[in-house]
Amino acid sequence: MRSHYCGQLNETLVDQTVSLCGWVHRRRDHGGVIFLDLRDRDGIAQVVVDPDTAEAFATADRARSEFVLRITGRVRLRPEGTQNPKMPTGLIEVLAKEVEVLNTAATPPFQLDEHGRVGEEVRLKHRYIDLRRPEMIEKLRLRSRISHNVRAFLEGQGFLDIETPVLTRATPEGARDYLVPSRTHPGSFFALPQSPQLFKQLLMVAGFDRYYQIAKCFRDEDLRADRQPEFTQIDLEASFVSEDDIMGISEAMIRQLFQEVLDVELPEFPRMTWADAMHRFGSDKPDLRIPLMLVDVDDLMQQVDFQVFSGPASAADGRVAALKVPGGGGMSRKVIDEYTKFVGIYGAKGLAWIKVNDRAKGIEGLQSPIVKFMENVIEELLDRVGAEDGDIIFFGADKARVVNEALGALRVKLGEDLNLYTQAWAPLWVVDFPMFESDDNGRLSPLHHPFTSPSCSPEELKSNPAVALSRAYDMVLNGTELGGGSIRIHDQAMQSTVFEILGIGAEEAREKFGFLLDALHYGAPPHGGLAFGLDRLVMLMAGARTIREVIAFPKTQSAGCLLTDAPGEVSADQLKDLNIRLRQKAKAETGNE
């Protein structure tokens, strides 16, 4: 139906007859001449309809916003003075000969250029209209280029694209499963995969050597942060590899992606141990664009007569850390109060501070509610953080976890508020993660997933699991975890040891992962891999604020789809087929029989 996309028109086509198909972006009546801005996914072209072409004029006169038209006409240069150099097609226009209405449109719930006036809910409910906005088209086009580039790179490296099942057994990645009832096995359920983890390992046992997949994953989590219940991973796995091999391939892939798609040369990817990252940045995904750092002052604070500091400084699980903000001494009381509230979100009970007005004057030159308690250590403290006139120093004193989370988040917030960024892109690898984390009752759970290989022997692991490190690695970019993976356990005895430490008994292990344990003893090669979150990667590359902006049909914070109204009720017959009877309360709430 069309000869060109609207956005493709330019001066080289002057005097040619073209046919365009698209939507009416805007219609203006200028003293007897009608101007139509016709839009398709490639851009917008200005169409002029003259009363001389009576039929076309009458049709154009009827056209309204978002009508679907086919227009045939001659390309001509816009008259002097009416050209728009900001628009790619701004030098030309199309003088219409024929205008055909392919479909009418009801008045849209929002004008495309006024999307900001309606809430995100309205945009999600009418996503097909929201997606007509050039910015949205741009983001999905970028997403398509990114997946294409990644596929081309991995294919070039000998990775095979292999699909793994979506109806499967639970794959633990630390979230709840989405379950699907089976009709043919009454009372049994499939789980949607939290990741293709187990299948990609089985593909290695099968000898495929290098696998990848752009895979949908499903995790039923509380969606506090910017998460989606279904999301996409670039998932890969390879055999006969070490950490360096997987990190090398992944880094080359991301480097090439940024080069080819954004024309950005990424800097070096430093490697940082998990312990170091927590220590210096309070986070396992430090944003290295921000030059602020946490400094340990436990040893000094053990010597002060101030229980709020000396307590955590002496406790085994406590920490006192300082965060110096160069030039931050001008912060008002109100601003400090706001930051105090902010760290409260992370459980911090307060935010102590010292302003360095004039260091040469000693304690007199400092301004702070707490400095009177620490006269004995103040000079050493100021030296240690490298304090200069005009700085402010914040303190966190609590359980190490609280201090890390609170000061880690404060560091990122200060970086953003004060625009402290020193570079556009700051990638790194975080390595040497602990194997396990323990809850308040001392129960261990895997920091990654239970198939991650420790960097020690089964005996060492068993004798002191709490300090064991894993062969896991995460790629972090600008404070976002882009991807993570590990060298896997390929030895059945080691896998059983890990299950045992996690309190998964032999019977339970067999029932849940018997197929994996069996596979491990039929000749499993050493293997490892990694998965990138595609949505986050696209979000960062697009400069978008949330992953919802780079997903065509995202779900809401409460894991629902406003467009289709999913999840929805099902008929009594369907439930009967599935051998499911709803409990009384659910019945009353959903109105299901």
CB of 200 to ligand ASP, least distance (A): 7
Residue 486 within binding range of ligand ASP, rule CB under 6 A: yes
Residue 297 within binding range of ligand ASP, rule CB under 6 A: no
CB of 443 to ligand ASP, least distance (A): 21
CB of 96 within 8 A of CB of 103?
Answer: no
Give residue number: closest CB to ligand ASP. 195
CB of 181 to ligand ASP, least distance (A): 25
Residues 329-338: contacts with CB within 8 Å, 24+ apart?
Answer: 329/355, 329/356, 329/357, 329/389, 329/390, 329/391, 329/392, 330/390, 331/355, 331/392
- List the interface residues with ligand ASP, window 531-550 (CB under 6 A): 531
Nearer to ligand ASP, 197 or 478 (CB): 197
Nearer to ligand ASP, 487 or 544 (CB): 487
Nearer to ligand ASP, 44 or 198 (CB): 198
Close Cβ partners of 550 (under 8 Å, ≥ 6 residues apart): 139, 140, 142, 143, 535, 538, 539, 542, 544
Nearer to ligand ASP, 470 or 478 (CB): 470
Helix/strand/coil for 272: strand
Q: How far apart are CA 385 and CA 430, in angstroms?
A: 25
Question: Of the candidates 59, 485, 495, 504, which one interacts with ligand ASP according to CB under 6 A?
Answer: 485
Q: How far apart are CA 465 and CA 488, in angstroms?
A: 17
- List the interface residues with ligand ASP, window 210-249 (CB under 6 A): none
CB of 196 to ligand ASP, least distance (A): 7
Residue 516 within binding range of ligand ASP, rule CB under 6 A: no
Question: Of the candidates 529, 541, 550, 562, which one interacts with ligand ASP according to CB under 6 A?
Answer: 529
CB of 531 to ligand ASP, least distance (A): 4
Residues 277-283: contacts with CB within 8 Å, 24+ apart?
Answer: 277/430, 278/404, 281/408, 281/411, 282/321, 282/403, 282/404, 282/405, 282/406, 282/407, 282/408, 282/409, 282/411, 283/404, 283/408, 283/411, 283/412, 283/479
Tokens 């490298």 found at: 386
Question: Of the candidates 49, 304, 397, 530, which one interacts with ligand ASP according to CB under 6 A?
Answer: 530
CB of 561 within 8 A of CB of 583?
Answer: no
How many helical (H) and strand (E) elements, i.e. helices and strands, does the chain have?
Answer: 18, 22
Q: How far apart are CA 369 and CA 407, in angstroms?
A: 19
Facing residues of 475 across strands?
429, 483
CB of 232 to ligand ASP, least distance (A): 11
Interface characters, 162-201, with ligand ASP (x: CB under 6 A): -----------x---------------------x-x----
Tokens 């741009």 found at: 138
Q: Which helix (H) or strand (E) holds 38?
A: strand 33-40
Residue 250 within binding range of ligand ASP, rule CB under 6 A: no
Q: Which stretch binds ligand ASP (CB under 6 A): 104-112, 131-139, 182-190, 481-489?
A: 481-489
Q: Which stretch binds ligand ASP (CB under 6 A): 12-20, 265-273, 362-370, 525-533?
A: 525-533
Facing residues of 24 across strands?
38
Question: Of the candidates 282, 329, 479, 484, which one interacts with ligand ASP according to CB under 6 A?
Answer: 484
CB of 478 to ligand ASP, least distance (A): 19
Q: Which stretch binds ligand ASP (CB under 6 A): 23-31, 388-396, 523-531, 548-556?
A: 523-531
Torsion of CA 496, 498, 503, 509, to 10 degrees: -40
- List of residues contacting ligand ASP (CB under 6 A): 173, 195, 197, 484-486, 529-531
